[in-house]
Structure 1
Amino acid sequence: MAWSLFIATCLGGCGPAPDVEASSETALESQARPLTEGAPLTAHDASCLRLVDQNTWTNSVANMADVGPALGLPALLGDLNRAGPVLTASTYPPATGYKGGFRWNDGDMATTDWIPQALTAGVSGDTNVALVSWHYAPSNPDKGVRLSVADISNMSGSTVNYRHVLLVRPTSAGQFTTVNEHGGGLAWFGNYLYMADTSDGLRVFDLTQIRQVDTSATCETQVGKVGSVWCAYGYKYVLPQVSAYTVPSTIASPCRPKFSFLGKDTRGGTSAVLSGEYCNSSDAQCPYDGSTPGLGGRLYRWPLNATTNRLVVVNGAVVPERAWIMNEPNVQGVAPVMTSTATTSYWLSSTRYGGALFKVSTSASRKAYLSGSSQWARMPEGMHATGSGTNLWTVTEGVSGVTNPATGGRVVFFVDQAAVD
């Protein structure tokens, strides 16, 4: 069966250079044809798309100098102030291959102001660390995005220690403001944390530049420099943005994508940041949906320089290494299938069916693990696959009003990759 895609005429310079896997589909690229949910990944011509480095790496660091010394991630890991209970046999959610996890403390389980979104993980010294983004739901003021830094080195204990850090953007010497984004995707490479900027591309934060700010009552409702101190809405630490990769304004829809979620891929000899689009059949339809709304979300692979941990820039631009139509709706996260060296198979986290994990590839229809069949947790978001091919981590947004982690409350957990392969 041929899985076809809806291809509209790209604006902003879309070229006729499709991925090699798309050669059999090129004759159909001008036709609006239905997509099929659960079909294999469909190669997509992304030659019209590029990102430009805003190149604020040096200036952003210089602008934060007056705030105080750069402490880095190790110092923060020595000052974790919250404890999340490790999940037990009676508190963990149903998930195929479940191995372990934790929930947040009571306040973070119940708050309606902050909502978990993305997850990535890595190692700092000898500490295994999970990073989770939360977006701020109220709009006045918009506190932007906070980051939970959690020590997951010992998942056999009773609690996981963590701390929230506010993401900020330097605006001038000694001044910064909030990062007013959804925080829907994270990918951690070296000292850099990449975050999805829904409309424009990728923002980059430097984990070596974490700084301490004031926590007095004055700072509870303010951000940036206030008198002689620096504030972050009461948070003790800030993580500053250092640069961004943005889509030029001349690139318009349908070529211009959304950056809804991110993933980290280290297979195939070249590391890459993965980005993808959230689409559904109602309020978030996508340009390549054709006659089947919700299925035209695109997945991109952006090449990374393994030495600098920055995206590869050629002739002034970053171009995607590969691109596909996912043929899945409501996708919230992506992780590579690490047992395969080919860069053509992935896990997708989706809120379709109330919660699902899909294993997808270019060569086979999906495998599905559904919350309704007690195979996966409800409302899953970002994911991270360990490079060893052992564990697949995910975070859940939580079902509104539910605080029980076993029935839809917010959790961070991991499963055996082999169990969902």
Structure 2
Amino acid sequence: MKHRGRHRRRRRGRALRATLAGTALALTAAATLISASQATVADAPGALRTVASDEGGRLPLAEHRVPGAWLDRLASAMGRPVGVGAVLEDADRPLRRAADCPAAERRSLPVEPAATRAYCFAGSDTRDWRAGAVTTSGDADDDGRWGSDRVILSGWSRGAAEGGSLDGPAPGQGLARVAFVDANDPARLRYTWALLAVPVDGGRDYRGLVSPLSGMVWYQDKLLVTTRERDRDALFVYDMDRIQRATVTSDAVGRVPGGWAAHGSRYVLPAVASYTLPGGDGAPRPATVSLDRSTSPDSLVASEWVPADGDRRTRLWRYALSRDPDRAGLLTTGSSGKADPVEAYETKTTDVRGVLAHRSGWYLDRAAGDPGGHGTLWRQDTEGARAAECGTDETRHCWSGRSASLSYWQETGEVWSQSGRMLFALPLASIDRALR
């Protein structure tokens, strides 16, 4: 197991920060036109309400490790695992810069505040897949790098409609994969795919993870992703030092004649652990997650998904991440092997697709109310709520309409998100200015 400090650069003074553009990306005129259905300013959701554990704030996550013998057996059959650096060496698919992206894709970017960097995936490479989660090497280590590399991870799911619910695809009809993006040169982002998998048959084979990726955090050497695979699953955990190479190019997944396939991806991440929820009807479930480095210890924050026409409030939770070197990247658990929230809130904001917490503020990305529209980014705390205003009618529908999870890269001060095929970033400081 690698320890956190092992991945920090020895000479931090040489770390290159991403250069922000002097002006925001120029959006097309159509991007500033807000539809009539969005013209009415939505009522503010008000302040967050603290929730006690006996009021529904308790969401214990039970930790389950995949037996080490299973992982070793799989590695013995597939070949020695590789690390992130080896994956980046195969990153040969270019992301296009915003100016070269289709106008229809650019229209989904935030209006106010505007993105300062944006890129798009090719339609031919993402057709029938839905973007849903973002995390970066800024989450993995506080110097913003994994070893010497700057990396962005972009999560995608197959089998769930764009903009639909977070219930996910039916079993057997979906897959989840992650684009490993080499972000060392901001002018030349390139990526390759890795399939998320689950070991089966004692590690003699693996199956695909059947779940939408609506939240994802890369912390130290672990990647935690939200899942709706089964009734009690909440998070799956992957080890960034246990990445396996696929050896056969095929639409199949797992052991095939002649080797191992990953539905066309070059790499496979087998799960090493999972966190499950208590059973019972109506049990809450984290739908999106992010990392908060402004707490001590660092923490994982989570939001559930409540539809816009839901009859209850959305719950938010915070979990402490372990400081134990033998539990790098995992949640803090008690003697029962369960992780309990250290903080819980309720908000009137519904249809939350991304959550971010920094210091006293919680940032909640609310989806657009109609296809092709723009959403709202609220900043809430226990005293109130604010959102940016834009357009001649001062609407609050200024954020991306199809954005997914939010990730704060502390070293550069940027917030990263996705909107359909667009991957974009902007300074957290510009968000806070817009919210004043």
TM-score for both structures, normalised by structure 1: 0.77
1:44 deviation in Å?
A: 1.1
CA gap 1:39/1:350 in 2 versus in 1, 3 angstroms? same
Q: How many residues align?
A: 349
Q: Partner amino acid for 2:154?
A: V
Quote the residue 2:305 is aligned against. Answer: 278
Q: Is the 8 A contact 1:70 1:209 kept in 2?
A: yes
Alignment equivalent of 2:313, drawn from 296, 303, 320:
296
Quote the residue 1:194 is aligned against. Answer: 224
1:103 deviation in Å?
A: 0.7
Q: Structure 1 CA distance, aligned partners of 2:100 and 2:88? A: 28
Q: Partner amino acid for 2:319?
A: W
Q: Is the 8 A contact 1:40 1:366 kept in 2?
A: no
Quote the residue 2:50 is aligned against. Answer: 43
Q: Structure 2 CA distance, aligned partners of 1:312 and 1:203? A: 15
Q: Does 1:175 align with 2:205?
A: yes
Q: Secondary structure at the match of 2:332?
A: coil
Please, which moves more after superposition, 308-317 or 47-56? 47-56
Q: Structure 1 CA distance, aligned partners of 2:281 and 2:389? A: 33
Stretches of structure 1 lacking an aligned partner (at least 5 in a row): 1-35, 286-292, 399-409
1:278 deviation in Å?
A: 1.1
Q: Structure 2 CA distance, aligned partners of 1:148 and 1:37? A: 36
Q: Does 1:163 align with 2:213?
A: no
Instruction: Note the 1:33-72 alignment, pairs <5 A.
Output: 37-46=44-53, 48-56=58-66, 58-65=68-75, 66-72=77-83
Q: Structure 2 CA distance, aligned partners of 1:368 and 1:61? A: 48
Quote the residue 1:310 is aligned against. Answer: 330
Q: Does 1:237 align with 2:267?
A: yes
Q: Secondary structure at the match of 2:296?
A: coil
Instruction: Note the 1:84-103 alignment, pairs <5 A.
Output: 84-88=95-99, 92=106, 93=109, 94-103=111-120
Q: Partner amino acid for 1:164?
A: W
**Could you give the per-residue CA deviations for residues 247-285 of structure 1, whole angstroms, max 9, x where no partner exists?**
133xx345x212211111112211111111111234xx3
1:394 deviation in Å?
A: 0.8
**Could you give the per-residue CA deviations for residues 78-124 of structure 1, whole angstroms, max 9, x where no partner exists?**
11121111123996533404211211124136x1x110001111132
Q: Does 1:121 align with 2:136?
A: yes
**Could you give the per-residue CA deviations for residues 45-85 of structure 1, whole angstroms, max 9, x where no partner exists?**
23543111112252442242211110111100111121111
Alignment equivalent of 1:378, drawn from 401, 425, 430:
401
Quote the residue 1:361 is aligned against. Answer: 381
Quote the residue 1:214 is aligned against. Answer: 247
Identity, % of aligned positions: 21
1:151 deviation in Å?
A: 1.6
Quote the residue 2:413 is aligned against. Answer: 390
1:366 deviation in Å?
A: 2.8
Q: Structure 2 CA distance, aligned partners of 1:82 and 1:161? A: 5
Quote the residue 1:130 is aligned against. Answer: 152
Q: Structure 2 CA distance, aligned partners of 1:188 and 1:321? A: 20
Q: Secondary structure at the match of 1:382?
A: coil
CA gap 1:40/1:369 in 2 versus in 1, 3 angstroms? same
Quote the residue 1:407 is aligned against. Answer: none
Q: Is the 8 A contact 2:375 2:397 kept in 1?
A: no
1:228 deviation in Å?
A: 3.9
1:374 deviation in Å?
A: 7.3
Q: Structure 2 CA distance, aligned partners of 1:304 and 1:384? A: 17
CA gap 1:258/1:234 in 2 versus in 1, 3 angstroms? same
1:195 deviation in Å?
A: 0.5
Q: Structure 2 CA distance, aligned partners of 1:309 and 1:369? A: 38
Q: Is the 8 A contact 1:297 1:326 kept in 2?
A: yes
Q: Partner amino acid for 1:395?
A: Q
Q: Structure 2 CA distance, aligned partners of 1:75 and 1:377? A: 33
**Could you give the per-residue CA deviations for residues 273-320 of structure 1, whole angstroms, max 9, x where no partner exists?**
1111111234xx3xxxxxxx2x51111111111332211111212101
Q: Secondary structure at the match of 2:405?
A: strand
Q: Secondary structure at the match of 1:208?
A: coil
CA gap 1:45/1:224 in 2 versus in 1, 3 angstroms? same
1:329 deviation in Å?
A: 1.1
Q: Secondary structure at the match of 1:154?
A: coil
Q: Secondary structure at the match of 1:54?
A: strand
Quote the residue 2:36 is aligned against. Answer: none
Q: Secondary structure at the match of 2:98?
A: coil
Q: Structure 1 CA distance, aligned partners of 2:131 and 2:260? A: 26
Alignment equivalent of 2:215, drawn from 185, 197, 202:
185
**Could you give the per-residue CA deviations for residues 178-212 of structure 1, whole angstroms, max 9, x where no partner exists?**
10111111011011000012342111011111111
Q: Secondary structure at the match of 2:125?
A: helix
Q: Secondary structure at the match of 2:241?
A: helix
Stretches of structure 2 lacking an aligned partner (at least 5 in a row): 1-42, 138-144, 161-169
1:135 deviation in Å?
A: 0.9
Q: Partner amino acid for 2:364?
A: L
Q: Secondary structure at the match of 2:339?
A: coil
CA gap 1:270/1:228 in 2 versus in 1, 3 angstroms? same
Q: Secondary structure at the match of 1:420?
A: helix
Q: Secondary structure at the match of 1:310?
A: coil
Q: Partner amino acid for 2:362?
A: Y
